[in-house]
Amino acid sequence: MSENYMPGPAYAQAEKIPGDSWRLVLIRNLRHAPDKVWKALTQPEHLREWAPFEADAGMDKAGATIKLTTVGAPGPHITETKIVRADAPRTLEYTWGANEMRWELEAAGAGTKLALWTSIDKRYIAMGAAGWQICLDVLDHWLAGTPIGRMAGPETMKFEGWQRLNAEYAKLFS
């Protein structure tokens, strides 16, 4: 983790969906073309640079079943994941445990408008928003060639920037 890194202000939203379910939505403008961002979302060698999990295979084929291993978990936490939709370089949908994940990429000038929708337990919205915001910061830096190192797991939660974001999100979503 870069000692000089400090995440920006909170920018996610949470939506109540039917039943007792919630959805976390993060939208981020990245300085990189959709094709480059798509590879970062779907290829194991790219995911290991920024994502909170590692994939045992590419995530770019609808119908594929792969294994995601959570980074920084106290013990091995492996989830069998089904790729529901993979329309390169626009839409990626898959399950991660009990969560449905949907990524949408839209060209925005020379860059990409990246949107993440994920189902989430209401108790974990602030923590999830803070964690994904940091992951997307790491992704943006890594794609720009100025890596700050992947931040995931229990050690990240001790990081002052994560604590500040978690507190900001907790106020937003309480």
User: Per residue in 38-91, pLDDT tens?
Assistant: 999 999 999 999 999 999 999 999 999 999 999 887 777 899 999 999 999 999
In a domain, 1, yes or no: no
Amino acid at 38: W
Confidence band of 9 (pLDDT split at 50, 70, 90): confident
pLDDT in tens, 129-152: 999 999 999 999 999 999 998 887
Task: Give, as one character, the DSSP assignment of residue 54.
Answer: E
Asked whether residue 8 is assigned to any structural domain, the reply reads no
Residue 149: CB atoms within 10 A of its CB come to 12
Say if 23 falls within a structural domain.
Answer: yes
Q: Which two tokens stand for residue 58?
A: 């590419």
Is residue 46 in a domain?
yes
CATH number for position 81 = 3.30.530.20
Range of the domain at 87: 13-173
pTM (2 d.p.): 0.92
User: pLDDT digits over 45-55, tens only?
Assistant: 999 999 999 99
Number of structural domains the chain divides into: 1
C-alpha distances in angstroms, 163 versus 20, 114, 156, 167? 27, 24, 9, 6
Whether residue 19 has pLDDT greater than 60: yes
**Structural domain contains residue 158:** yes
Q: Does residue 4 sit within a domain? A: no
Quick check: is 50 in a domain? yes
Are 33 and 40 contacting, i.e. CB atoms less than 8 angstroms apart?
Answer: no
Please report whether residue 7 resides in a domain: no
Report the pLDDT averaged over residues 8-24: 87
Q: What is the pLDDT of residue 1?
A: 54
